[in-house]
């Protein structure tokens, strides 16, 4: 599946975005019935007698102490968890070297993730942020509400500056229950603010996944000739011959990515590079495969 499926018009309409997400996700999940997010928000269900081969970690030693018989604790696995989808809508997300912008890609990615989560009867909360939370959809575990999520995503227009740290703090205040926080952003922001946001999520026991959404031109800077770069988040312009600065830019940008990765490692957040030139399935499969491995 390629980015060709990400028609900018389709992304801007709720129905079309929902269908798109469903198509992407179902195309990926053919033959897959188990939730990659299983075993997180779990509740006790019943005991059964131990049989050789069972995982001894689940032995209930209290029952053994009372009855001197081995029982295995069984848990309710379809318990809902809450996934907070944070989508950056700052102006810098409006850059796209091809047909789609980083924001388009982020919206489809968020839609796909929402689709996966809701169809498993887990809960999704959606935060569309800029310098602050621009739109917030409280958590819902009703699959019927998926259309609502898609419409809110489709209607979202990126604009203005960004203050991701501030936005994450706000999201943290909304997310009282432990869950998963999925941040979809280019992270072109104050790195200290981002760090404080991640730190708060990490200390409150949330699992954080950072999808850094970047355009291939930002990653490779392939311009030649003379270009005037117009800042999407300001009024400044810069005229230069990119050939003259490519190496320095790439080094600078590479250092930035490295700092982000180290920051994620520091706060035990999982980092995923969402290259908009690659298909969403590829991005998703890489991440979901990781989740499966982590679950086992």
Partner 1 sequence: MSFLSPMVLAGLAALGIPVAIHLLNKFRVRTTAWGAMRFLHEVVQTSQRRVQFDDLLLLILRCLLVAVAVCAFARPVLKGPGGSGSTSGPIAAAILLDNSASMGQTGGALNRFEMAKSSIRDWLAGIDAQSQVALYLVSNRPTPLVGKPAGDFGLLRKALDDAALSDDGSDLVQGVQLAAQSLKSITGRPKEIRIYTDGQAATLLHHDALKKLALDYPDVVIRPILIGGKGEDNLGIVTLHAEDGIASVGQPCRFRIEVINSGASTATELKINLMLDGTTPAGTATIPLIGSGETQGVTIPVSFATPGPHCITASIPLDGFSADNQRTAAVEVIRRMDVVIAQSEAGEQGGFFISRALVPIAPEQASHYYLAPQFMLPAELPAALSLPPENRPAVVFLCDPGPLLPTVTSALNAYVKDGGNLVIFPGSHSDVSTWSDDPAFTQLLPATLGPIIETKANQPLTWQSRGFSHPITAFWNDAANGDLATVTFNRYFPLTLKPGASANVIAALSGGQPAVVESSYAKGTVLLFNASCSPEWTNLPLHPAFVPFVQRLMGFLNRNSASRLILAPGETFRLPVAAALRGKDFSVKRPGNDAARTAGQVTGDDTGAYIRYTATERAGTYHITVDAEPVASFAVQIDASESDLRTADASLFDDLANVPHAASQGPAMLVILKEYWTSLLGCLLIIFVVEAALAHRISFAR
Question: What does the binding site for partner 1 look like in residue numbers (CB under 8 A)?
Answer: 91-95, 102, 186, 188, 215, 218, 223, 225-234, 236, 238-241, 243-249, 252-253, 256
**Cβ distance to partner 1 smaller for residue 141 or 233:** 233
CB of 287 to partner 1, least distance (A): 23
The number of angstroms, rounded, from the C-alpha of 16 to the middle of its chain's C-alpha atoms is 21
The total number of residues shown for the chain amounts to 296
Among 190, 20, 171, CA closest to 90: 190
Strand 82-88 vs strand 180-185: parallel, antiparallel, or unpaired? parallel
Nearer CB in complex with partner 1: 34/157: 157
In the complex, the smallest distance separating the C-beta of residue 156 from partner 1, rounded to whole angstroms, is 17
Residue (76 or 244) nearer to partner 1, CB: 244
Helix (H, G, I), strand (E, B) or coil at 277: coil
Nearest residue to 270 (alpha-carbon basis) of 282, 280, 283: 283
Are residues 93 and 106 in contact, defined by beta-carbon separation less than 8 angstroms? yes
- Cβ 268 to partner 1 shortest distance, Å: 27
Nearer to partner 1, 96 or 143 (CB): 96
Residue 98: which of 279, 282, 234, 231 has the closest Cα? 279
* Nearer CB in complex with partner 1: 55/236: 236
For the bound state, the minimum distance from the C-beta of residue 6 to partner 1, rounded and expressed in Å, comes to 18
Min dist CB 255 to partner 1, Å, is 9
Contacts of 158 (CB under 8 A, 6+ apart): 88, 89, 90, 91, 93, 94, 101, 103, 130
Read off the tokens for 90. 């700052």
Pick the closest to residue 86 from 197, 160, 195 (CA basis): 197
CA 93/CA 91 separation, integer angstroms: 5
Taking the complex as a whole, the smallest distance from the CB of residue 245 to partner 1 amounts, in Å, to 5
Q: How far is the CB of 55 from partner 1 (least distance, A)?
A: 48
Reduced to 3 states (helix: H, G, I; strand: E, B; else coil), residue 188 is: coil
Encode burial over 106-124: b for 16+ CB neighbours within 10 A, e otherwise. bbbbbbbbbbbbbebebbb
CB of 244 to partner 1, least distance (A): 5
- Our CB check for partner 1 shows the closer of 136 and 256 to be 256
**114 vs 128, which CB is nearer to partner 1?**
128
Among residues 95 and 201, whose Cβ is nearest to partner 1? Answer: 95
């Amino acid at each position: 599946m390629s980015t060709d499926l990400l028609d900018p018009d389709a992304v801007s309409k709720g129905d079309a975005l929902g269908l798109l997400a469903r198509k992407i996700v179902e195309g990926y999940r053919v033959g897959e019935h188990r939730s990659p997010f299983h075993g997180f928000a779990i509740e006790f269900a019943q005991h059964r007698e131990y049989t050789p081969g069972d995982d001894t970690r689940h032995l209930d030693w209290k029952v053994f102490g009372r009855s001197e018989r081995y029982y295995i604790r069984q848990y309710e696995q379809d318990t809902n968890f809450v996934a907070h989808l944070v989508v950056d809508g700052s102006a810098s997300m409006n850059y796209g070297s091809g047909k789609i912008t980083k924001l388009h890609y982020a919206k489809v990615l968020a839609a796909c993730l929402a689709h996966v989560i809701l169809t498993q009867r887990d809960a999704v909360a959606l935060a569309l942020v800029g310098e602050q939370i621009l739109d917030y959809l409280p958590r819902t575990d009703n699959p019927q509400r998926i259309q609502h999520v898609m419409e809110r995503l489709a209607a979202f227009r990126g604009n203005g500056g960004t203050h991701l740290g501030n936005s994450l703090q706000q999201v943290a205040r909304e997310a009282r229950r432990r869950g998963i926080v999925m941040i979809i952003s280019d992270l072109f922001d104050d790195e200290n603010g981002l760090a404080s946001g991640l730190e708060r999520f990490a200390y409150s026991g949330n699992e954080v996944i950072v999808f850094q959404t970047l355009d291939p031109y930002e990653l490779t800077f392939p311009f030649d000739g003379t270009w005037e770069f117009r800042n999407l988040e300001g009024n400044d312009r810069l005229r230069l011959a990119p050939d003259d600065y490519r190496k320095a830019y790439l080094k600078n940008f590479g250092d930035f990515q490295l700092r982000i990765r180290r920051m994620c490692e520091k706060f035990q957040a999982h980092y995923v590079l969402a290259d908009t030139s690659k298909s969403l399935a590829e991005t998703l499969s890489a991440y979901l495969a990781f989740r499966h491995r982590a679950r086992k």
